[in-house]
């Protein structure tokens, strides 16, 4: 713990108390210290409530426990403060205080339950002593606050399970034996003091709470014990003689009405039977099967307390014919033990039955008859608050007919009648008037508390009365009541209620069992009616209605919302807004270790997608929307953005990473292309810390997987491989390159602050990459070099024969497949990697420009290398290679001879690169059609190459049209482009002629436009030259005629 503002305020309170009192701070542990609880009470209350902003409930509980623990540590004088203690080192700042001051503070602040939790964190001997001292303290001058404190401590000790009794900051840890021992010691100490504590209470509500807590604890203990495990060694030996006398007393107090005659006879028979019992028989020891006598005394202790409840403290002494409300409540509380005790007795074996246990069973049987007569049977798990409330209701004489009349006419107190009907649902649900009244009074149910109460009634009826034929119809009507009340709540309250329902009852409360029929139709109908989506009141009503659908069938609702967004273009935004109204549905998790409900639903939907479809595009758009922070719908004044409904890390871990890591596995539920697109979405740079969820330990495996994909797709096709067409492989490679760029950008930002910290991870990545193609290391080289500055670029040694590559930054590789004469292929492979690499390689090339023969050989070598490399390039890589070729042309290293008979007149140097590029590509495509390449250039390869060729020529056309050259020069260059295209069209297969024809037609259209502003003589001469090119084409159908008609427009105004 650090010295926070709250601790500073607490410290100041002690200093101020010292100034107001004569006792120095270092003497506060003395019994005669003058500092009082009233001097510290206000400060502690202020810290709990919040110093600057009002604390929420969980924050108040957090600080209540923390302050109780700190003060208790000071009572113990730091004896429990260890290096790993929750309180260390704050204890050295605050003064030691005495027990009296501590007890007065927890009493004034009503911190009884936090005191019990803190006792569970100290040794059992210390906890026992503290609890005894507290009981002694409250005996000195008892008042109402002492009674409240004792009640709180009692309920905390007896009503909580061991797991919940632990410290708030240790939840989830296993309970040690020491903690169990401390719990047992505290409970024992409490029961030992119980005789002296009960007289401190009146016969009012506090006493009822205390005694009911004890009885409920007895039930819990007895339910966990088998009859043979009940030992009587610690019980009162006279118990069997006292119980008959109390039964006889109860019998004589019964009214002499005929309806009680049976009870009187049973009581008399019970009395005579028990009188004949011998005490020695009831005290017989029972031995366990292993021969050892049990030393358990806890069960005996609580059985003895049950006897005291029956025979002491006026439980039966004051029962008379008047049957006042107070005594009825006492009997009703006692009834909470009846079901438990009777069920235990029914499963016991006759030969192991003790006389004492039989007597308790028969006493409980008589009490059960009495309670049945008085119509005050209470459920075993009912809380004491409900008992007291039901007592008051019965005392006021409320019954169903009166309640119905008050609710019908909205008379004074009708809300209480409504609560009464809900609280007594198990007794009233068979009465048709009960459900009718709820249906007619929906407007009274419009509060979160009541809606949750109705949900609890539905759950109770389903669990406790599964065989009752009347229940299904009641449940269906209750479901309508619940939904009608729910949709009238504010949207924020609807979300809170939905969260509670999912947490407590799960997603199947209203859509399984008797509700299964028609659920799907109801959900579909709800979405079909969702037509009003404005920000006004109508829009709110529509969304409220849809929230009601979500309450009934959460899983089906979310699945339908996702399907609507996927199958209907333009619905992604609407469905995102709908889910933003009920974020609890999206973020709910069945258990802490599972993904959110929205994540799993999207994952299932992704598995049904087909790549490159409208549905896939809609799905990706929907995911993008869900990953964005948003303003709460219908609250335009809210100044804050809510966190995204879809956590990027959870979604990536569930629906993205597994299908990139195992893209060759059998369980490829999400297509690889879809997974790559989704990875781009979750990695998209939106500014700020949006990528903060990505950890370095995730970055390096992602980079390795992407490099593996690049290695797998370095060749876009394999021989006789029809299962993976070029288009799919090209798409995977394109997506991988784009994703690699994003992840590299994120990695450089992440590692730049402390690069040396990740040296081990980078070394691991580099070792793995050595198993792949040498180009894979070039893709991630900036990241490798950032962490390992001594790292060198590794390329085939053949590159060093014609490239000036300094060995200080480059390292030759001899174990590659590149032999003599393949250096240009290796160079172009480097150029594929990135534009920066292409620029560097073109500057490193060494060619003697003075030697014309070397220039010719170099140009021919580049043509052959391009023929081998370009067919394996996707568009991104194709661009890099073309940029490198154009750079070589600008530097005069690559000279492409102008085709003989060309029609380009007076061409300026500004357009020479564009013209040479077109000529070079035409030569490459002509070489692809030669016998040299016919063994590996298939029609699908032609389709892929021509697609990129057409795109490149179109970019060249645009570059020409945007240049400052004269129209005549532009017309000549475009005309030459047309000639190059015709030369390709002559040798290309029929599968690509249509693409080339459209390109040629576009060129003629551009020539026609340029001819209007060019010299007429030049335009006519150009037209005649192009006509000869068209005549040489072998085009089927009317394609040639179409080109001729378009050509006739050149030179005409």
- CA pair distance 221, 474, nearest whole angstrom: 36
Tell me what pLDDT residue 784 has.
92
794 DSSP β-pair partners: 811
Are 948 and 875 in contact, with CB atoms under 8 Å apart? Answer: yes
Q: Measured on CA atoms in the order 15, 21, 22, 25, is the torsion positive or negative?
A: negative
Residues 6+ apart with CB under 8 A from 287: 293
Tell me what pLDDT residue 433 has.
84
Any idea which of 335-349, 430-444, 486-500, 604-618 has the lowest mean pLDDT?
335-349
| Per-residue pLDDT at 818 exceeds 80 | yes
pLDDT in tens, 749-801: 888 888 888 899 999 999 999 999 999 999 999 999 999 999 999 999 999 99
| Per-residue pLDDT at 65 exceeds 60 | yes
Q: What are phi and psi of 350, to 5 degrees?
A: -65, -40
Tell me what pLDDT residue 557 has.
92
- CA pair distance 108, 146, nearest whole angstrom: 9
More confident residue, 673 or 533: 673
Residues 6+ apart with CB under 8 A from 855: 847, 849, 893, 895
**What is the end-to-end Cα distance of the chain in Å, rounded?**
88
Are 759 and 788 in contact, with CB atoms under 8 Å apart? Answer: yes
More confident residue, 16 or 583: 583
Are 938 and 721 in contact, with CB atoms under 8 Å apart? Answer: no
The candidate with the shortest Cα–Cα distance to 842, out of 793, 891, 878, 792, is 891
DSSP state of 258: G
Tell me what pLDDT residue 663 has.
58
Q: Measured on CA atoms in the order 996, 999, 1005, 1008, is the torsion positive or negative?
A: negative
Helix (H) or strand (E) holding 812: strand 810-813
pLDDT in tens, 922-962: 999 999 999 888 888 888 999 999 999 999 999 999 999 99
Span 239-245, average pLDDT: 41
Any idea which of 119-133, 306-320, 594-608, 626-640 has the lowest mean pLDDT?
306-320
Alpha helix (H) ranges present in 806-911? 823-833, 835-844, 852-869, 875-890
């Amino acid at each position: 713990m650090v010295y926070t503002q709250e601790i500073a305020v607490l410290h100041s309170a002690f200093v101020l108390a010292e100034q107001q009192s004569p006792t120095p701070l270092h003497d506060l542990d003395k019994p005669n210290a003058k500092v009082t609880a009233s001097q510290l009470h206000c400060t502690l209350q202020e810290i709990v409530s919040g110093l600057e902003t009002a604390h929420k409930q969980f924050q108040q509980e957090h600080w209540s426990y923390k302050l109780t623990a700190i003060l208790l540590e000071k009572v113990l004088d730091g004896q429990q403060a260890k290096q790993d203690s929750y309180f260390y080192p704050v204890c050295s700042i605050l003064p030691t205080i005495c027990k009296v001051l501590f007890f007065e503070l927890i009493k004034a602040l009503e911190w009884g339950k936090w005191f019990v939790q803190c006792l569970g964190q100290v040794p059992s001997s210390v906890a026992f002593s503290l609890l005894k001292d507290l009981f002694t303290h409250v005996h000195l001058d008892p008042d109402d606050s002492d009674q409240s404190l004792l009640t709180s401590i009692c309920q905390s000790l007896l009503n909580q399970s061991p797991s919940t009794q632990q410290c708030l900051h240790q939840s989830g840890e296993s309970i040690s034996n020491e903690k169990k021992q401390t719990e047992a010691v505290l409970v024992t100490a409490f029961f030992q003091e119980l005789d002296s504590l009960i007289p401190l209470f009146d016969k009012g509500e506090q006493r009822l709470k205390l005694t009911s807590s004890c009885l409920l604890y007895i039930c819990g203990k007895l339910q966990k014990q088998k009859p043979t495990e009940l030992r009587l060694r610690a019980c009162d030996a006279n118990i069997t003689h006292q119980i008959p006398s109390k039964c006889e007393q109860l019998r004589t107090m019964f009214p002499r009405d005929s309806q009680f005659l049976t009870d009187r006879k049973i009581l008399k028979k019970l009395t005579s039977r028990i009188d004949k019992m011998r005490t020695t028989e009831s005290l017989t020891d029972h031995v366990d099967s292993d021969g050892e006598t049990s030393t358990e005394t806890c069960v005996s202790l609580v059985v003895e307390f049950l006897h005291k409840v029956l025979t002491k403290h006026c439980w039966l002494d004051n029962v008379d014919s008047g049957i006042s409300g107070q005594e009825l409540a006492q009997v009703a509380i006692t009834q909470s033990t009846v079901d438990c005790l009777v069920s235990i007795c029914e499963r016991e074996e006759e030969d192991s039955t003790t006389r004492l246990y039989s007597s308790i069973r028969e006493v409980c049987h008589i009490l059960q008859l009495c309670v049945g007569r008085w119509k005050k049977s209470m459920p075993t798990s009912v809380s004491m608050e409900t008992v007291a409330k039901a007592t008051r209701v019965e005392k006021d004489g409320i019954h169903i007919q009166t309640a119905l009349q008050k609710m019908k006419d909205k008379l004074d107190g009708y809300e209480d009648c409504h609560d009464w009907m809900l609280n007594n649902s198990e007794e009233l649900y068979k009465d048709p008037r009960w459900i009718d009244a709820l249906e007619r009074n929906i407007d009274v149910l419009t509060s979160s508390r009541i809606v949750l109460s109705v949900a609890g009634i539905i759950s109770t009826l389903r669990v406790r009365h599964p065989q009752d034929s009347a229940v299904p119809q009641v449940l269906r009507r209750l479901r309508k009541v619940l939904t009608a009340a729910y949709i009238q709540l504010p949207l924020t309250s609807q979300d809170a209620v939905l969260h509670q329902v999912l947490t407590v009852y799960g997603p199947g409360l209203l859509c399984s069992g008797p509700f299964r029929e028609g659920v799907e139709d109801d959900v579909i109908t709800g979405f079909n009616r969702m037509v009003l989506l404005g920000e006004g009141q109508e829009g709110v009503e529509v969304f409220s209605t849809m929230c009601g659908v979500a309450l009934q069938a959460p899983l089906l609702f979310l699945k339908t919302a996702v399907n609507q967004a996927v199958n209907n273009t333009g619905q992604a935004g609407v469905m995102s807004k709908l889910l933003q109204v009920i974020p609890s549905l999206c973020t709910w998790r069945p258990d802490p270790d599972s993904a959110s409900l929205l994540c799993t639903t999207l994952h299932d939907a992704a598995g049904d997608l087909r790549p490159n479809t409208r549905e896939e595009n809609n799905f990706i758009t929907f995911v993008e929307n869900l990953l964005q922070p948003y303003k709460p719908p219908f609250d335009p004044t809210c100044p804050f953005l809510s966190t995204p409904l879809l956590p990027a890390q959870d979604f990536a871990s569930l629906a993205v990473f597994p299908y990139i890591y195992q893209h060759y596995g059998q369980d490829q539920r999400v297509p690889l292309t879809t997974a790559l697109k989704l990875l781009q979405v979750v990695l998209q740079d939106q500014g700020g810390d949006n990528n903060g969820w990505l950890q370095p330990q995730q970055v390096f495996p992602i980079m390795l997987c992407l490099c593996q994909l690049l290695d797998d797709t370095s060749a876009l096709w394999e021989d006789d491989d029809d299962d993976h067409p070029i288009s799919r492989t090209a798409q995977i490679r394109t997506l991988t390159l784009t994703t690699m760029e994003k992840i590299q950008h994120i990695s450089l930002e992440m590692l730049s602050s402390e690069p040396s910290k990740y040296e081990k991870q980078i070394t691991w990545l580099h070792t793995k990459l050595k198993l792949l193609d040498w180009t894979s290391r070039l893709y991630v080289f900036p990241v490798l070099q950032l962490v390992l500055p001594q790292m060198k670029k590794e390329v085939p040694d053949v590159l060093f024969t014609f490239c000036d590559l300094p060995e200080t930054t480059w390292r030759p590789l001899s174990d590659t497949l590149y032999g003599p004469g393949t250096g240009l292929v290796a160079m172009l492979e480097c150029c594929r990697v990135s534009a920066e690499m292409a620029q560097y390689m073109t500057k490193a090339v060494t060619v003697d420009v003075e030697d014309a023969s070397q220039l010719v050989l170099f140009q021919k070598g580049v043509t052959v290398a391009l023929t081998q490399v370009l067919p394996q390039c996707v568009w991104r890589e194709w661009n890099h290679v073309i940029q490198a070729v154009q750079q070589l042309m600008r530097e005069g290293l690559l000279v492409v001879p102008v085709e003989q008979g060309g029609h380009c007149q007076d061409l300026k140097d500004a357009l020479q690169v564009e013209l040479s590029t077109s000529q070079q590509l035409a030569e490459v495509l002509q070489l692809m059609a030669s016998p040299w390449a016919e063994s590996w250039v298939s029609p699908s390869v032609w389709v892929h190459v021509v697609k990129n060729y057409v795109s490149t020529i179109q970019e060249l056309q645009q570059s020409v049209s945007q240049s400052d050259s004269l129209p005549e020069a532009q017309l000549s260059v475009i005309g030459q482009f047309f000639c190059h295209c015709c030369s390709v069209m002559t040798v290309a297969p029929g599968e690509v002629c249509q693409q080339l024809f459209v390109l040629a037609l576009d060129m003629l259209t551009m020539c026609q436009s340029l001819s209007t502003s060019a010299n007429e003589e030049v335009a006519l001469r150009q037209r005649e030259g192009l006509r000869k090119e068209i005549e040489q084409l072998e085009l089927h159908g009317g394609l040639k005629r179409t080109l001729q008609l378009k050509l006739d427009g050149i030179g005409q105004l």
